[in-house]
Structure formats: structure tokens, C-alpha cells
Structure 1
Amino acid sequence: MNHIKACCASIARTGFGILQISEAMLEDYKKIVDGYSTISPATKASFSFANDTDGFFPFGAEYSSLEDQPDLCERFCYWPAHSSKRKAFEFTRSEFFAAVEAFEQRVSALAQELMDGVCAEFGATSLTALRAASYLQLCVYGASSGPGERQFAQDPHEDGHMLSFIKPTRDGLVLVRGSSLEPVRLLENEVAILAGSLLTELSDYAIPAAYHAVLTPRTPMTRSSLIYFVNPDPEQALTGFFRHRPIDLKSAINARHIGFGNQPLQLT
């Protein structure tokens, strides 16, 4: 479709693009962001798997730049690679979890199509099995006291992935261009696509990683952001787009994952 081709071309040039999502994806998204508030603290505590970076994580469990300045949000992470290990939990039969599974299935197919298009922009070999090491993350920012304490609810950073699909419930996401902060504003059926440092490395630095942040709101308010982090299959042998030198993406993926305060990846 034309909007996908245009998004691929924009990512190839600038590291940033905007993509339309289907009505079905939008409905699943609404169920996820609206349904989070109905989940009990007991369920969150029991469905938390730190070694896998899977399930629920409390406020401040991840950071973007400084370990002592964590992101001001709670998190829920869903890895299809770990889903078979969670079947015994009653929570996996909830409406919230069903919406998460449905959204992830749809966005993973969209991510594969988009990544294929980005590779085609450079005449490069497509990446296989993106879903194997990719995951969905919901960030939930509570009402804060305003920017007097911190300018950013999530400090400026670049994601350590190939691509990030980001759909927030309200404004706050900004692209950091030097000293300039450019607000990312999306229509209801749009999602922001940001290149990460892995894609910069794979493209031999032709594609810039999208440096971004989340502003602390001027007045107290809640905000959620659903993100799909796209990683390549760590077992796929890849070479740079131009130099055609082998890239050890397995080590690169893990190093970037740990760099945000997470445990080492357990995908084998």
C-alpha cells in the first residue's frame, strides 16, 4: 500500500515515519489502554517475570539514560516467545490479555512488511522471523506533579531495537533534534515508527536512530503508550547494507536490552 511505501522511504531518509493502522488494531489498542486500570495489584504482582522482562513491572523499573532517574511509568510486557510458559495463569484468559495477543499478532505482521520495505529501499536482504525476539510493551504514566520536578517523564534516548511502533493516548512524545523538541502528533488511526540503534548499525549508519523523549505534562494527567519493539532473529546471519561485513546482532540486542535496566534476554 502507498502509505506503507511512503513510511519506509521516510524511515530510510530520516529514521522516523507515521503509519496508518487498521480498525481492528485500533479496537484492540483501546481495549488494552482502557483495560489496564481494571487489573488488580495482586494480579500484577503474580504475573511478573523479571528474568524474561515479561508481565507487569512496577513504577520506575526501567530507565532510559540514568539508572537513578527511572522512567515515570508502570509497564506491562508481552513476548510471544514466552507465551507458552504462561498458559496456567488465569490472567491469560482475560479480555485484556486477549486484546494484547490480537494486537501483537497484527502489529508483528505489519512490522515484517515495513522492515521488508526498508531493506528494499537499500536493495538489502530482508530480515526473517522478526517476531521471535520482538515484544509489546504498555507504559502507563500516572498523574504527576508537573515539570517542576523533572522535564521528562522519559529521558531523551534512542531505542535499542530495529524499529519501535509507538501509539500514545495523548501528546508528550517528542523527537529531540539538537536543542529542539519536536512534538509527535498522530491521528486516531496512526502510529509513530522510530528507527533504533540496531537499524542504524545494520544500515552502516545510513539510517539515523530517532532520538526521542516523553515530556512531563504541565498539569497532572495520566498517559499511556503502547509500543512494539522490533528485533531481528538473533540467530540470523546479517551483514551491513553497504560494507557487507557480518554484524553480531545477538550480542548487540542483549547489550542494548540490559542497558535500559532489564535482565539479559532468555530467548533460547
Structure 2
Amino acid sequence: MTRTSPAGEILRRGHATIPLTAAEAGVLATLRAEAARFFTLDEAVKRRHGSDDFNFGFRPFGRQYSVSPDRPDMNESFTYWADAPGTVPNGEDIAPFLTALGAYWAVAARAADDILTGLAAHYGHPEPALDFRDSSYLEVNWYLRDDERDLLQDRHEDGHLLTLANSDGPGLETESAGRMRPVAVPDGHLLAMPGSLLTSMTDGQVRPLYHQVRNHRLRRRVTVLFLVNPRFDRPVRPYVTGRSGEVDIAAMARTGGSMFGLPPAPILKASPRR
């Protein structure tokens, strides 16, 4: 692993910037365009494509927060689990959107695999890359215009192994030396942000990257996230075993969303697409 690899950057700096190829950037641009078409649909239409527990597909404003339920995140979301389009209710009616999500899933999964393979090599972990594909998901956030709040999302960390993030406008701020600072992710790049699951996997050696979203009162802001989890259905061995012994990484991964008002993560088997 070189110092310039994404895994090496995370170990050295606490985050990494990952360039996309021109073809991969085109896949992301297509997904953004399809997301814009979806989120500008009538509210009743969008709700047809969300599950009752808000795990799959459309998640309306007010269902998720960063710190407190009385300050919901200022966005709607769409979640796409495990490259499994069949999990989205009435997905046949939004097939181009799901196709774009599936295409970008492959891009993000390759980047996640590269990072996890590098971390496993660094720590001498027996699994070259954790089995994350049936337990990870894409989340597309469509931010709502608000002229009063300074922050569209309050300071938080995501609670996963990694978040691979890309936004089409400014606003992201990350914590450095106790201060929140704007971070500019170049166009055609992803920002890899460690979460507290990776902190647990490394016995505290990799700290979670706290971040927030500043309100620049943009007419449009779309963020595409790939949220990387280890598998939920069996024990996951940490990279580093701490003084307290083994921790239940899988259980932590399944229930971590509760701090944001979300239900337990679903246990899915092999996806229908693969």
C-alpha cells in the first residue's frame, strides 16, 4: 500500500479524496439527472416508492436527523440497498432512476473495495476486503431551500465503516483540530469519510470524520452517498482487537441508524441483480 492510496490517506489524514475516471464521472452525472427528475415529482407519487419503515426507496423530509428530532435534516432522501432494485416499492415505474443507481453502485463499490483491501493489508486482516455488498447502500439527498437555518445538517458522523460522498454544490464542512472548516471536493472526485464503525474496527486508531452541511441557500443541491457496512448476519472480526476484547461489529452496524431516527438495517441475502 503506497502513501497515496486511499487507504493510506485515511490512515495518515483521516480521510481520502478519490478521483473518478471520465466514464465513472459520466455515470454519476446520469444519476444526478435521474435523481432530479424523481425528486421534482409530486409528493404523493414519490411516496409510492418508499417502504413503510423508510428503509427502502423514498424517505420524506422530517424522517431523519443528525442530532435531535426537533431539527430534522433539510432534505428528502432515496435509499438503494445492496444493488437490489426489487427492494424499492413500485420500482418498475422509475426504472431509469433505478438503472442509474445500479450503474453508480458498481462505481462506488469498486472504490470501497479498494479502500477495504488496503486497510486489510495494513492490519494483516485475514479477509482482503470485508463482505459489504449486501449490507451497504446508496443514499441520494435532495436538499430543500430554507432561508432561516444556518445548517442543513448538524454536526455528526455517519456511523458506518465509510461514507463515499459527492455533492454538486458547496456546503460540506469537516472537523479539523476542533473546528468545522469548508471542504472542497473537486468535480469528478469522491470524499471518503471514516465512520465510528471503522473506529471500532481499528480500536480507535481511525477516528470518525465529523461533518455538517452549511446552508448557502442554493436553488439546488444534490448529494450522493455510498454508505459502507460490514455484513450483518454473522460476526465480523475487527482489524485490531482492543483491551476489552472482541466487539460485536455486526450488531453495531445494524442498529447504528437509531441515532438518526432510522430503523434497524435490513438483513438482505444475495441481491437479485447479481
- In structure 2, relative to structure 1, the CA distance for the partners of 1:262 and 1:82 (3 Å cut) is farther
Match of 2:51 among 49, 52, 61: 49
- What CA distance in whole angstroms lies between the structure 2 residues aligned with 1:246 and 1:92? 43
Measured after TM superposition, the shift of residue 220 of structure 1 is 4.2
Measured after TM superposition, the shift of residue 121 of structure 1 is 2.1
Match of 1:233 in 2: 231
TM-score (norm 2): 0.87
Q: Contact (CA 8 Å) 1:144, 1:221: kept in 2 or not?
A: no
Measured after TM superposition, the shift of residue 52 of structure 1 is 5.7
- What CA distance in whole angstroms lies between the structure 2 residues aligned with 1:79 and 1:23? 25
Asked if 1:242 corresponds to 2:244, the answer is no
Cα displacement string for residues 9-36 of structure 1 (whole angstroms, at most 9, x for unaligned residues): 1111332110012223211211222222
Match of 1:102 in 2: 103
- In structure 2, relative to structure 1, the CA distance for the partners of 1:213 and 1:90 (3 Å cut) is same
Equivalent residue runs for 1:214-233 within 5 Å: 214-217=213-216, 219-233=217-231
Measured after TM superposition, the shift of residue 170 of structure 1 is 1.0
Match of 1:195 in 2: 194
| Structure having the larger proportion of residues in helix | 1
- What CA distance in whole angstroms lies between the structure 2 residues aligned with 1:206 and 1:150? 34
Match of 1:120 in 2: 121
Alignment-mate amino acid for residue 239 of structure 2: F
Cα displacement string for residues 225-256 of structure 1 (whole angstroms, at most 9, x for unaligned residues): 00000000123433333336322122201221
Equivalent residue runs for 1:126-165 within 5 Å: 126=127, 127-145=129-147, 149-165=148-164
- What CA distance in whole angstroms lies between the structure 2 residues aligned with 1:86 and 1:72? 23
Measured after TM superposition, the shift of residue 77 of structure 1 is 0.6
Instruction: Give the gaps of 5 or more residues in structure 2.
Output: 269-274
- What CA distance in whole angstroms lies between the structure 2 residues aligned with 1:15 and 1:267? 29
Match of 1:17 in 2: 16
Alignment-mate amino acid for residue 72 of structure 1: M
- What CA distance in whole angstroms lies between the structure 2 residues aligned with 1:15 and 1:131? 23
- What CA distance in whole angstroms lies between the structure 1 residues aligned with 2:62 and 2:24? 28
Q: Which deviates the most, 41-50 or 98-107?
A: 41-50
Match of 2:271 in 1: none
- What CA distance in whole angstroms lies between the structure 1 residues aligned with 2:236 and 2:37? 43
Measured after TM superposition, the shift of residue 262 of structure 1 is 1.0
Secondary structure at the residue paired with 2:58? Answer: strand
Match of 1:252 in 2: 252
Alignment-mate amino acid for residue 221 of structure 2: R
Equivalent residue runs for 1:201-212 within 5 Å: 201-212=200-211
Secondary structure at the residue paired with 1:118? Answer: helix
Q: Contact (CA 8 Å) 1:77, 1:136: kept in 2 or not?
A: yes
- What CA distance in whole angstroms lies between the structure 2 residues aligned with 1:46 and 1:88? 7
Alignment-mate amino acid for residue 248 of structure 1: D
Match of 1:90 in 2: 92
